[in-house]
Amino acid sequence: MRIERYLIRLYPRLWRRRYEEEVLALLEQRSPSILNGIDLLFGALDAHLHPHLGTTGIALCERMRQMLHAIRRSLLMIFSAYAGFIIAGLAFQKMTEYDDFMEAAHAQSVVGLSFTLVVIGSAVALLATLAGGLPIIAAVLKYAFTKKRLGLLFLLAVPILAFVVFINTPVLLSILFSTNDLSSVLARSAFVVVLLAVAIVSTSAVCIAVARSEIGEKLLRFALLAAALATVSMGLMLMAIIVWGLGLWSTVPELFTSNEGIFGVSTTGTWIGIIAAMAIATLLAAFALLRGFAARSALA
């Protein structure tokens, strides 16, 4: 029964407030089993995908407020997933800028077409993110000035400050590290750490600023549609990169099995790592999108 209690904590807070005691009472009448645990896990997934569950019995205005919060949390999750997707995309761009990969893209139609689809998908995802995100940022700025919340302005300034630090990182690393092989590896590793830190800090700052502001329902509804386009573009880019790698493997196997990946490591390993990161980001975005649309439907 103790394991079931831990699994119940995976459910949303509103759901637990409404159904936890009933479910625990029911589980006490049944002997513990693996099937019970699996049922609880799938139930938790379903409860998160349908945030309106557990809101029955509360006031209509409170129910609407909870659904708006669910949409906002879904949008922030999609934005965070997109940021992670971009990091993986930068790794793919860095790898394919080498001459061998550019020649393969020109010589092999499958490799070239899939790479073109990645470029188109990245542009569409970026435009969709800007279309849905910039009005929300404008709303945060308006809220910050109206309510005199200077902390929100600082949070929105964090990505700019982080970018300034990032663009000066290569100069700093060239001063700290010499040109020998070991120092070169350390410098590259430090650069990756700084890149990840900048991405995490910037994304977190924007998410906190949005979460602490008042955003209108119309903006959230529109942003959810833009997020849907961005998520679909992420999925298409993921498939295009998979096709790119398979095409490279079948047409230029010596390049696919070489050490032309990021920082001179395995090309195959780099490709698999990029796919894994993009797949996780896309799945998280798709999950949040389904949750957001469920909350949007509940508002109607």
Q: Do residues 66 and 284 lie in contact, with contact meaning Cβ atoms separated by under 8 Å?
A: no
Domain parsing of the chain, residue ranges: 2-49, 68-149+213-299
| Cβ–Cβ under 8 Å, residues 77 and 231 | no
- The proportion of the chain whose per-residue pLDDT surpasses 70, expressed as a percent, equals 94
The pLDDT value given to residue 122: 95
Q: Return the top range by mean pLDDT from 158-167, 173-182, 258-267, 276-285.
A: 276-285
140-153 per-position pLDDT tens digit = 999 999 999 989 99
Weakest-pLDDT range from 42-51, 106-115, 228-237, 245-254: 42-51
The predicted structure's pLDDT at residue 182: 47
Q: Kindly report the three-state secondary structure assignment for every residue of the chain.
A: CHHHHHHHCCCCHHHHHHHHHHHHHHHHCCCCCHHHHHHHHHHHHHHHHCCCCCCCCCCHHHHHHHHHHHHHHHHHHHHHHHHHHHHHHHHHHHHHCCHHHHHHHHHCHHHHHHHHHHHHHHHHHHHHHHHHHHHHHHHHHHHHHHHCCHHHHHHHHHHHHHHHHHHCHHHHHHHHCCCCHHHHHHHHHHHHHHHHHHHHHHHHHHHHHHHCCCCCHHHHHHHHHHHHHHHHHHHHHHHHHHHHHHHHHHHCHHHHCCCCCHHHCCHHHHHHHHHHHHHHHHHHHHHHHHHHHHHHHHHC
Q: Give pLDDT, residue 280.
A: 97
170 against 111, higher pLDDT: 111
The pLDDT of residue 62: 75
- Average pLDDT over every residue of 29-39: 74
The pLDDT tens digits of the residues spanning 191-227 come to 888 889 999 999 999 999 999 999 988 999 999 999 9
- In this prediction, residues 269-282 reach a mean pLDDT of 95
Confidence at residue 105, expressed as pLDDT on a 0 to 100 scale: 87
Say which residue the tokens 């849905």 belong to: 132
Taking 80 as the threshold, does the pLDDT of residue 181 lie above it? no
Question: Can you give the pLDDT at residue 66?
Answer: 82
pLDDT (tens digit, 9 = 90+) per residue, 7-20? 778 787 777 777 77
Q: For position 184, what pLDDT does the model report?
A: 65
* pLDDT tens readout for residues 75-132: 999 999 999 999 999 999 988 888 888 888 888 889 999 999 999 999 999 999 999 9
pLDDT at 297: 85
Report the pLDDT averaged over residues 251-274. 87
- What is the rounded average pLDDT for all residues in the chain? 87
> Is 186 a residue whose pLDDT tops 90?
no
Q: Provide the whole-model pTM.
A: 0.85
